[in-house]
């Protein structure tokens, strides 16, 4: 294989040139009869170049099939035309919805969205935030739910890039944020079970460091207190996944059979799905005849379950869309005042709580 490179007059490879035989910026400049700096301005600062010159450079680019080096262009322009999005867990369809909403908003502003999955790990979250800052993105959207992550982020600040937090109610003095009213969602879920005639209720959700889970638990407590009812129990498994729910379900099964428990509010649909599975396979406990179970998030675990699960729906796409708006406002404002946007959840009734 023959490898050639386009060099500048000083013997160095010209900016944007490749080592694979494709056209470089020097070739475009030569064909268009302009300097390399003019080509760079056409790519990054068109307002500095006359329309006739832009036309000549664009024709040369088309004729040569020149593909600009995105990283080099970002450095030349100071910033890219991209927004970063670090998601907590792509396995949860809520975060997929958030990404779709953010992508729609980015496209409307002529921007690209770069997506990374932290998978709930603080070190990966930090690494992606740093990576996006090094890539000169306009700013980064970061989905959070863990107080520990937030404290670490507050300590390290924004590392040179504008940050907007999603799924987390942040201190407005530090960041813009868009979040769901999780306490209201906890109230909706609990009141629904009460409305179906159930009163011996358990809350399942943890760990307590997760802000959304803590808020949902608070909604559960407040609703029962307002009705003069004491919760039977509150359980905090290590996680909010199906396996965690399955373990909890088996632990609760005997208490359901004896009539101690007739309703479960789960902090996630995955927890709820695991609980329902454990109830039905361990003691043949009828859901919803003997016990009602409601989840949270309205993701695939709720609607694609043998017993479809009632849940609290969150407008994920709206959250992602609002986050981009907050980020762009932050970028455009000289003296920006951080804002927090709160979105309301809604109840979705399915088979797991029917009477």
Can you tell me the distance from the alpha carbon of 136 to that of 75, in angstroms, rounded to the nearest whole number?
Answer: 7
Interval 101-134: pLDDT, tens: 999 999 999 999 999 999 888 888 888 988 888 7
Residue 37 has pLDDT above 90, yes or no: no
- Look at residue 1 in the predicted model and tell me its pLDDT: 30
Which of 72-76, 164-168, 195-199, 338-342 is the most confident on average? 195-199
Residue 158 clears pLDDT 70, i.e. is over it: no
pLDDT higher than 50, residue 82: yes
Q: Is the pLDDT of residue 142 over 70?
A: yes
- Count of C-beta atoms within a 10 Å radius of residue 204: 30
- Cis peptide bond upstream of 207, omega within 30: yes
Predicted pLDDT of residue 185: 98
Residue 63's pLDDT band, with cuts at 50, 70 and 90, is confident
- Please indicate whether residue 69 or residue 104 has the higher confidence score (pLDDT): 104
Structure-token pair, residue 56: 């000549």
Confidence of residue 19 (pLDDT cuts 50, 70, 90): very low
Q: What sections of 89-146 are H helices per DSSP?
A: 93-108, 122-134
Q: 335: pLDDT confidence band, cut at 50, 70 and 90?
A: low
Each residue's pLDDT tens digit, 285-301: 999 999 999 999 998 88
SS3 177: strand
Quote the pLDDT of residue 20. 38
Distance CA 163, CA 40 (A): 29
Higher pLDDT, 262 or 332: 262
Share of residues in the chain with pLDDT > 90 (%): 55
pLDDT of residue 8: 35
Residue 171 in this model has a pLDDT that exceeds 90: no
What pLDDT, on the 0 to 100 scale, is given for residue 17? Answer: 40
Query: Residue 18 pLDDT more than 50?
Result: no
**pLDDT-based confidence at residue 24 (cuts at 50, 70, 90):** confident
Q: Is the per-residue pLDDT at 327 higher than 80?
A: yes
Q: What is the pLDDT of residues 245-266, one digit of tens each?
A: 999 999 999 999 999 999 999 9
For residue 167, what pLDDT band results from cuts at 50, 70 and 90? very high
Tell me the sheet residues that pair with 340. Answer: 177
Cβ density class 93-130: b for 16+ within 10 Å, e for less:
bbbbbbbebbbebbeeeebebbbbbbebeeeebbebbe
Average the pLDDT over 4-13 and give the result.
Answer: 34
Q: Residue 155 has what pLDDT?
A: 60
Q: What are 128's two structure tokens? A: 């992606």
Q: Kindly report the pTM of this predicted structure.
A: 0.75
CB 221 within 8 A of CB 228: no
Cβ density class 315-329: b for 16+ within 10 Å, e for less: bbbbbbbbbbbbbbe
Residue 46: per-residue pLDDT: 77
- Specify the 3-state DSSP secondary structure of 292: strand
CB count in 10 Å sphere of residue 226: 12
**What does the pLDDT read at residue 67?**
67
User: What is the model's pLDDT at position 156?
Assistant: 57
Half-sphere exposure of 128 (CA within 13 A, CB side): 22
* 80 pLDDT higher than 90: no
Within 8 A by CB and 6+ apart from 19, the residues are 3, 4, 5, 13
Give the count of beta carbons closer than 10 Å to the beta carbon of residue 10.
6
d(CA 25, CA 264): 64
Average pLDDT, the chain: 85
| Model pLDDT, residue 22 | 64
Say what the pLDDT of residue 41 is: 82
**Average pLDDT over every residue of 196-207:** 95
């Amino acid at each position: 294989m023959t490898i050639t490179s386009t060099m500048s007059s000083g013997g160095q490879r010209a900016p944007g040139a490749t080592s694979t035989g494709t056209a470089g910026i020097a070739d475009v400049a030569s064909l268009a009869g302009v300097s390399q700096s003019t080509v760079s301005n056409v790519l990054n600062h068109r307002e500095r170049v006359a329309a006739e010159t832009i036309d000549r450079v664009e024709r040369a680019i088309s004729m040569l099939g020149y593909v600009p080096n995105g990283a080099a262009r970002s450095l030349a322009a100071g910033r890219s035309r991209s927004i970063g999005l670090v998601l907590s867990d792509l396995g949860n369809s809520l975060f997929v919805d958030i990404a779709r909403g953010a992508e729609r908003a980015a496209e409307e502003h002529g921007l690209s969205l770069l997506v990374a999955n932290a998978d709930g790990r603080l070190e990966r979250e930090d690494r992606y935030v740093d990576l996006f800052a090094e890539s000169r993105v306009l700013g980064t959207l970061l989905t959070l739910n863990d107080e520990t992550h937030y404290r670490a982020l507050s300590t390290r600040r924004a590392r040179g890039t504008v940050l907007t937090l999603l799924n987390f109610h942040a201190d407005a003095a530090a960041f813009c944020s868009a979040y769901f009213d999780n306490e209201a969602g906890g109230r909706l879920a609990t009141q629904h079970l009460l409305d179906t005639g159930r009163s011996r209720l358990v809350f399942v959700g943890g760990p307590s460091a997760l802000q959304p889970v803590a808020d949902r638990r608070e909604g559960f407590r407040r609703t029962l207190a307002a009705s003069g009812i004491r919760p039977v129990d509150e359980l905090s498994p290590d996680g909010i996944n199906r396996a965690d729910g399955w373990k909890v379900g088996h632990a609760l099964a005997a208490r359901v059979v004896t009539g101690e428990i007739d309703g479960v509010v789960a902090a996630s649909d995955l927890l709820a799905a695991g609980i329902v599975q454990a109830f039905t396979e361990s003691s043949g406990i009828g859901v919803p005849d003997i016990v009602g179970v409601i989840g949270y998030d309205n993701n695939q675990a709720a609607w694609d379950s043998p017993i479809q699960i009632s849940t609290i729906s969150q407008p994920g796409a709206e959250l992602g869309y609002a986050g981009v708006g907050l980020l762009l406002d932050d970028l455009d404002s000289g003296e920006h005042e951080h804002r927090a946007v709160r979105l309301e959840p809604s109840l979705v009734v399915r088979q797991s709580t029917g009477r």
